A and B are shown apart, each in its own frame.
Chain A
Amino acid sequence: MIVKRITNVFFRYALRVITLLFAVSVIGFTLVSLSPVDPVQQYVLSVGSVSPEQRAELEDYWGLNDPPVERFENCLSAILHGDFGTSLLYRRPVIDVIREKFANTFALMLCAWVFSGVIGFILGCVMGANRDRAADKILKRICLLLCSVPTFWLGLLLLLLFSVWLGWFPIGFSSPIGVMNSDVTIWQQIHHLILPALTLSLLSFANVALHTRQKLIDVLESDYVLFAKARGESKRQIMKRHGYRNIIMPALTLQFASFAELFGGSVLAENVFSYPGLGSAVSAAGLNSDVPLLLGITLFSALFVFTGNMIANLLYGAIDPQIKESYANE
């Protein structure tokens, strides 16, 4: 029974991820084909002077003169064989570049994600429980302000304040300049991580806090909380018995569904802090016509966001009794 359910779920998600990645690759490929991005030009620039004949030969060799459908088929079959091509910018296989950059980005996003989730949830609870009091009003304004501030601007502001004026943090990169990669300590890495992570989390924690606040207010206005009150439960007991229980699920869903925003935010934050992650790699790839890398990262980010949403869905099934028991009855 349980095995059947798990295989069922597995196939359902497998089918979804395959169709999603196929759709993303079609759209990505079409957009790149239509855009003025010219991979040959980029390649030629790095090689040096090339005659028009050589250039035409190169285009022919790369298959740029084939019909688009054929080109897409070639591209797809290469990907299916595990070959994502070579990055024109880094001169290395795209897969290796993504792996290396993602390690950096992952540390950054994980910090920001945990930080914004935890702080956002706590602040949301504080605001919801003290609705319309001074604490709520002040925090709510701060959250609304943070929600409407652009990431890059906030990043610049933090950079100016903490790195330039106060000198507490480095102004960029993921490790100190002039130090061998193998000599970089974990503390130095964390030191470089703090400001970008803070920027990224400040962006999304306000969102989490405001959502949690609203959800808690809804719960506190519900009939069952009214009944709990009628049964003599104190405010604290109500929060403990009914409050957290009913807001944790939406908060978790929101948190996992925020992977997309996190990815988008990391592009901006990494650029401001010159942090060598996936976000800065993707903008570099776009600006320098590095088509293989651009498409590779596009596919990877789609997979990443899909994973976040899938975890949210599965969590719901595992935690929410209404869904859990209905699965069991299937």
Chain B
Amino acid sequence: MVCKHEHLLDVQNLSVSFKMYDRGLVQKELKVISDLSVSVDRGEILAVVGSSGSGKSLLAHAIMGILPENAAIQGAMKYQGEDMTPEYQEKLRGRQIALVPQSVTYLDPLMRVEKQVLGAGKDAKKKIPALKGIFNRLELDESVGKQYPYQLSGGMARRVLVSTAVIGDAELVIADEPTPGMQTGQAIEALRIFRELADEGKGVLLITHDIDLALNFADKIAVFYAGTTLELASSGDFLSGEESLRHPYSKALWRAMPQNGFEPLDGFQPFSGSLPSGCLFSPRCSMCEKQCRQKIPEMRELRGGFVRCFHAT
């Protein structure tokens, strides 16, 4: 990809692998994200969609710099044109970049919700009016602030987590599966909040498996599969139909949506320990040829988007 202007967040050829013990004392590298490139601009929502186990959360953690110690990162990550070194990431975390984590376990079980949403630091108390406003918008009763995480339902916990990111002045919000468990109305409200943030000139990276919801709010969709992106399309491409999409997997995803025939795709996403040698999608692809099995295709520009496929036209 050629960088024409400065992105808010620019991830190029990111690979994340874990060192782990295989059998006995044999160490093995398990690659969970390979050769991934995404970028987020100010004023836009990029939705990263993909099924569970495709490494989406790890992408979020890699950007925040909070991967476990046995993880190794390759590739380049830039924030506002500056290389994201661990020191820089530490400065950005919670100030410039906010994370919406994906489950209630990310809340301290022994601390009242309000104190957690306000966060640490001296000026935490000043955010109380803002907190009331956000709770109100997310249909969280004021009494929720006085409760402990175990007292929250799944949807309430998710909304509390969303509020933690919105209450700061972060320029980039990374939301990791923010909506499951919420009622449709609340999920839409949550995404509307992200949309507003984007319209204010901030960037949002939305990680989700709910394509339908993402389509209506996001500007761009990155289709994520087995640790890498297969296609980058505008959400308009998804809305206008199968023909506008580029990658066979994206097309299959489109066909699997309830309103488009609800047609499932055979096979399974490969496990990160046993990836195929060529194109990651080749074992399930109807267009698969010899070269697909031998070589991983590069990301290439096609019809205003990007695709990782030899055959896409």
Interface residues of A in 151-172 (CB under 8 A from B): none
Contact between A241 and B148, CB atoms less than 8 A apart: no
Q: Is the pair B105, A224 in contact by a Cβ cutoff of 8 Å?
A: yes
A242 B111 Cβ-Cβ under 8 A:
yes
Contact B148 A322 (CB under 8 A): yes
Does the CB pair B110–A230 fall under 8 Å?
A: no
- Do the beta carbons of B148 and A232 come within 8 Å of each other? no
Question: B93–A231 contact, CB under 8 A?
Answer: yes
Q: Measuring CB to CB, which residues of chain B are less than 8 angstroms from any residue of chain A?
A: 61, 64, 66, 90, 93-95, 98-99, 101, 103, 105-111, 119-121, 148, 150-151, 164, 168
Q: Of A229, A246, A249, A322, which contacts B93 at CB under 8 A?
A: A229
Closest to B108 in A: A224
A54 interface residue per 8 A CB criterion: no
| Bound CA span A241–B151, Å | 20
Taking residues whose C-beta sits less than 8 angstroms from the other chain, chain A's interface range is 20 to 34
Mask for A223-244, Cβ within 8 A of B = 1, else 0?
1101111111100010001100
Q: Is the CB of B120 within 8 A of A227?
A: no
CA distance A320 to B111 in the complex (A): 10
Q: Which of B103, B109, B164 contacts A231 (CB 8 A)?
A: B164
Counted as pairs of residues, one from A and one from B, with CB atoms less than 8 Å apart, the total is 66
- Within the complex, the shortest CB–CB distance from B42 to chain A, in Å, comes to 21
A246 touching B108 in the complex, CB below 8 Å, given contacts A230-B101, A325-B148: yes
Instruction: State whether A320 and B110 are in contact (beta carbons under 8 Å apart), knowing that A223-B105, A232-B94, A325-B151 are contacts in the complex.
Output: yes
If A242-B108, A320-B110 touch, whether A223 touches B93 (CB-CB below 8 Å) is: no
Q: In the bound complex, do residue A223 and residue B94 qualify as a contact, i.e. CB atoms below 8 Å apart?
A: no
Residues of B within 8 Å of A320, CB to CB, are 110
Which of these, A227, A237, A242, contacts B101 with CB under 8 Å? A227
A52 CB-CB contact with B under 8 Å: no
User: Is there an interface contact between A245 and B105, defined as CB atoms closer than 8 Å?
Assistant: no
Chain A positions within 8 Å of B151 at CB level: 325
| Contact yes or no, B94 A233, CB < 8 A | yes
A224 touches B150 (CB 8 A): no
Q: Name the residue of chain B whose CB is nearest to the CB of A226.
A: B66
Please tell me if A321 contacts chain B, counting CB pairs below 8 Å.
yes
Residue of B nearest to A234 (CB): B120
User: Contact: A230 with B150, CB < 8 Å?
Assistant: no
Closest to B110 in A: A245
The answer for the CA separation of A134 and B258 in the assembled complex, in Å, is 58
A148, CB-defined interface residue at 8 Å: no
B94 touches A230 (CB 8 A): yes
Q: Which residues of B contact A246 (CB under 8 A)?
A: 108-110
